[in-house]
């Protein structure tokens, strides 16, 4: 493959995208969180192509995207607790890890041969339209080369993956801007990744959530130490910029770029990955990106999680 088509969310564009997916090709598409790199979740070849296009070092399990609960129930086992969480938060930026149905028909590459499956119903109208015109489940990690900053615009997808995927469906900028929150519902509920649904909202329903997984044995790539990394090194909790730094601010104060001048965490999440890329473009060779402190509450937990990984020592 050498040329990546840009498609729009017209009936023709959606039909073309569905045709590519039916031929086991790859189409990046917008969700409310970030752009996903979609392939048929039932096809070993399509899923293997996803790993290859991203240059993923190993076969981490992927999220399966479906248009509605009826479809979700064909792949995962929903108990009463899962049904209640789904009713409260879907469609939306929440992924549930649930027992895999024996008869799911999903490629074992999607689940990394686990007996569980990560599943999500995205709210974005273009994601919904694509899932319906394709008529099957889409495996979709974020549409970026492994370890790099996630894409929140079609142009970000092309910066990282042009020539490596068949098409990108352009649906404008993503409104949430950080990946979905991942909630494990195998046994006791556990927070596997903070994300677009504030943890406090889940805890109001489920009680205090332990965090699952550890950095040495990750079950979510969000738990790998270095991830979301821009090209330039990153310094966190920077109250001011030092010489040789591009400052990414939050709230009032001098900065080159600002996640949210008014200090709004939802706005900051929506701007995060785009402004990390912009800061990277502004940084001269040898310069560093200095990022203002972000409060550890609401979407600030997801933002800080991504920033800690962006600042982590590189492999
Ligand atoms: O917002 C999002 O979630 C985006 C959009 C495209 O939907 N997708 C995304 O996918 O962030 P990805 O592949 O970057 O993250 C999937 C996460 C990984 O951390 C993976 O380890 C975890 O889901 N995961 C998948 N299946 C799992 C399972 N059975 N048990 C535990 N974790 C699982
Ligand atoms: Mg990712």
Confidence of residue 11 (pLDDT cuts 50, 70, 90): very high
| Domains contained in the chain, number | 2
Handedness of CA 25, 26, 31, 33 (dihedral sign): positive
Do residues 153 and 288 share a domain?
no
What is the number of the ligand closest to the CA of 182? 1
What is the number of the ligand closest to the CA of 147? 2
Q: Which of 272, 263, 253, 258 is nearest to 295 (CA)?
A: 263
In this predicted model, what pLDDT tens digit does every residue of 110-152 receive, in sequence order? 998 899 999 999 999 999 999 999 999 999 999 999 989 999 9
Do residues 294 and 177 share a domain?
no
Q: What is the C-alpha separation between 203 and 53, in angstroms, rounded? A: 36
User: CA angle 307-293-178, nearest 5°?
Assistant: 35
What per-residue confidence (pLDDT) applies to 1?
58
Ligand 1 atom nearest the C-alpha of 176 is 1
Provide the CA 62 distance to its chain's centre, in angstroms: 10
H-helix segments, 95-206: 125-134, 154-161, 199-206
Is 215 within a domain?
no
Residue located nearest, by CA, to atom 9 of ligand 1: 141
Confidence of residue 314 (pLDDT cuts 50, 70, 90): confident
Give me the CATH number covering residue 140.
3.90.870.10
Share of the chain above pLDDT 90, in %: 86
Whether the model pTM is above 0.95: no
Expressed in angstroms and rounded, the spacing between residue 33 Cα and the centre of ligand 1 is: 12
**What are the structure tokens assigned to 191, written together?**
């927070």
In this predicted model, what pLDDT tens digit does every residue of 187-215 receive, in sequence order? 899 999 999 999 999 999 999 999 875 43
Q: Give SS3 for 27.
A: strand
Which residue segment(s) compose the domain that 88 sits in? 5-206
What is the number of the ligand closest to the CA of 145? 2
pLDDT at residue 250 is higher than 90 = yes
Q: What H or E segment, with its residue span, contains residue 269?
A: helix 265-282
Do residues 29 and 153 share a domain?
yes
Kindly give, in sequence order, each residue whose CB lies less than 8 Å from that of residue 213, ignoring residues fewer than 6 positions away: 192, 219, 220, 223
Query: Which one of 31, 118, 190 would you pick to mutate in the ligand 1 pocket, going by the greatest count of ligand atoms within 8 A of its CB?
Result: 118
Q: In Å, what is the CA distance from 217 to each residue of 14, 213, 214? A: 39, 7, 6
In this predicted model, what pLDDT tens digit does every residue of 143-184 receive, in sequence order? 999 989 999 999 999 999 999 999 999 999 999 999 999 999
Ligand 1 atom nearest the C-alpha of 114 is 29
Q: What is the mean pLDDT of residues 81-90?
A: 98
Place of tokens 């996640």: 259
């Amino acid at each position: 493959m050498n040329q990546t088509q840009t498609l729009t969310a017209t009936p023709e564009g959606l039909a073309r995208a569905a045709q590519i997916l039916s031929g086991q090709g790859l189409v990046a598409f917008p969700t409310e969180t970030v752009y996903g790199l979609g392939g048929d979740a039932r096809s070993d070849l399509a899923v293997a192509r996803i790993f290859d296009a991203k240059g993923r070092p190993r076969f981490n399990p992927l999220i399966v995207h479906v248009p509605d609960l009826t479809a979700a129930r064909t792949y995962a086992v929903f108990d009463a607790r899962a049904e209640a969480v789904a009713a409260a938060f879907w469609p939306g930026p929440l992924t549930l890890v649930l027992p895999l149905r024996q008869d799911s028909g999903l490629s074992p590459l999607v689940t990394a041969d686990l007996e569980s499956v990560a599943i999500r119903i995205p709210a974005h109208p273009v994601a919904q339209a694509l899932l319906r015109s394709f008529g099957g489940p889409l495996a979709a990690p974020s549409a970026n080369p492994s370890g790099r900053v996630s894409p929140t615009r079609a142009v970000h997808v092309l910066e990282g993956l042009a020539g490596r995927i068949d098409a990108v469906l352009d649906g404008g900028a993503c409104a949430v801007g950080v990946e979905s929150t991942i909630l494990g519902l195998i046994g006791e509920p556990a927070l596997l990744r903070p994300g677009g649904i504030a943890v406090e909202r889940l805890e109001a329903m489920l009680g205090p959530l332990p965090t699952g997984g550890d950095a040495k044995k990750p079950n979510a790539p969000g738990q790998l130490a270095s991830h979301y990394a821009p090209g330039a090194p990153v310094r966190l909790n920077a109250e001011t910029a030092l010489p040789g730094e591009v400052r990414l601010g939050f709230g009032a104060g001098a900065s080159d770029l600002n996640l949210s001048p008014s200090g709004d965490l939802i706005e900051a999440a929506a701007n995060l990955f785009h402004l990390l890329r912009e800061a990277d473009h502004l940084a001269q060779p040898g310069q560093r990106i200095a990022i203002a402190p972000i409060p550890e509450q609401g979407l600030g937990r997801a933002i800080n999680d991504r920033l800690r990984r962006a600042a982590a020592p590189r492999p």
